[in-house]
Amino acid sequence: MNTKKSEELYQRASGFMPGGVNSPVRACKNVGKTPLFIERAEGDKIIDADGNEYIDYVCSWGPNILGHGKKEIIQAVKNSCDNGLTFGACHRGEIALAEIIQRNIPSMEMLRLVNSGTEAVMSAVRAARGYTGRDKIVKFEGCYHGHSDGLLVRAGSGLLTGAIPDSAGVPKGYTENTLLAVYNNEQSVEDLFEKYGNEIAAVIVEPCAANMGVVPPKKGFLEFLRKITEQHGTILIFDEVITGFRLSLGGAQKYYGVTPDMTTLGKIVGGGMPLAVYGGKREIMECVAPLGSVYQAGTLSGNPAAVSAGIAALGILESATELYEQLDEKGAKLEKTLAESGFNVNRVGSLLTVFFTERSVTDYDTAKTSDTNKYAKFYSYLLENGVYTAPSQFEAMFISSAHSDEDIEYTCQVIKQYRI
């Protein structure tokens, strides 16, 4: 495999961006590599600067559920751009997108469009605090909720791989209201409520964790969170930045049948453009300015080009009746092959992680027992055979509707020939 051009570009990029990248998970440090520079992408394939072609299971870390370069989405963006790139003012698209979101996720009675998942979560937490008049929040070890100060505690993926427990540059005061619980462990949540009960503004959770690798909620866990938050007047926030429109049209809340008070969306909802959403119960969202006193704003929020991409993507998902079943079948096929080859695999629908652990992974501690050197070897093997996966053990493989049966089958053959 010739990657000379990528290596040259990486050298140049390293002079400008820290580590040559604009987001640390792209750096490939943990698998002992330098990043590939991508020239273009189409369907389920990405092509690097040296012309190598790979079947892509990163899918831009989630947004590309319809594959790369979906024609309808690109056309919608082009049409929108013909009318100007940004107005900093109201436009029809915002209503259209809000309608689609609410139709599929009715618990988002009111919502706000923002520009990234980080911003969505940060704003949702602020609204929950403003509404309840409380300061503390509960998050789970290994769940990632973006890089805002208060949430960079045991935050999975990028941080987990790099073995940085917290980020430098975050004053202690910013995280002292962040309480940590153990995913899938009800007792750990009960203990916090016993101690801090009526000080807890919100419990935030990835309803299916996907940033310590995929870790599904055990049966009853989300129902338990619903109940205990209700008992204490605490807001339950589902961070569905990955799971929204991924596990089902109605997200994880529909998939698992548990309704939160607030929801954050990102990734898929922007159709590949920078767009994210937070929302929830009307009475909570009515606390947000200009109706209420919780301030939150954005120059480019509701950007027409991004909104048009979201409308197009969600429109396709709404009309493709069997899409989620098909994604599930493809996922099941990969899972079966991996399991038969002796891998330890967690999967929910089109989200999947191969763990190099002895035990099955149910939380952050078990995820951390993974042998990341073994993962690095597997990663390199896949890449050399034209299969592009995340350069970190603690991420998901994403399957898109563009993954053809042939390419899934090819991936299975490559997996079968690997000796663990």
Ligand X SMILES: *Cc1c(COP(=O)(O)O)cnc(C)c1O
List residues binding ligand X (CB under 6 A): 116-118, 121, 144-146, 206, 211, 239, 241-242, 266, 276
The single residue of 33, 254, 267, 330 carrying the catalytic annotation is: 267
- Catalytic site residue 377? no
The single residue of 239, 261, 363, 407 carrying the catalytic annotation is: 239
Q: Least Å distance between CB 144 and ligand X?
A: 5
Longest CA span, the chain: 60
- Find how far residue 286's CA is from the centre of its chain: 27
Q: Least Å distance between CB 319 and ligand X?
A: 26
Q: Least Å distance between CB 209 and ligand X?
A: 8
In the chain, % helix, strand, coil (3-state, to 5) comes to: 45, 15, 40
Q: Which is nearer to ligand X, 22 or 198 (CB)?
A: 22
Q: Which is nearer to ligand X, 215 or 276 (CB)?
A: 276
Q: What is the β-pairing status of strands 387-388 and 53-56?
A: parallel
Q: Which amino acid is at 33?
A: K
Q: Least Å distance between CB 211 and ligand X?
A: 5
Question: Which neighbouring-strand residues pair with 107?
Answer: none
- Catalytic site residue 239? yes
- Secondary structure letter of residue 218 according to DSSP: P
Q: How far apart are CA 132 and CA 166, in angstroms?
A: 27
The single residue of 144, 278, 364, 379 carrying the catalytic annotation is: 144
* Closest by CA position to 212, among listed 264, 143, 148: 143
Q: Which is nearer to ligand X, 244 or 304 (CB)?
A: 244
Q: Least Å distance between CB 132 and ligand X?
A: 21
Q: Least Å distance between CB 119 and ligand X?
A: 7
Q: Which is nearer to ligand X, 144 or 378 (CB)?
A: 144
Q: Which is nearer to ligand X, 43 or 244 (CB)?
A: 244
- Catalytic site residue 371? no
Q: Which is nearer to ligand X, 278 or 378 (CB)?
A: 278
Q: DSSP per residue over 243-297, as a string?
A: TBTTTBTTHHHHHHT---SEEEE-GGGGTTSS-EEEEE-HHHHTTBTTTSSB---
Starting at the edge strand found earlier in the chain, the sheet holding 351-355 runs 344-348, 351-355, 397-398
Closest residue by beta carbon to ligand X:
117
Residue 9's φ and ψ, nearest 5 degrees, are -65, -40
Q: How far apart are CA 286 and CA 236, in angstroms?
A: 17
Residue 284 neighbours by CB distance under 10 Å: 24
Return the active site residues: 144, 239, 267
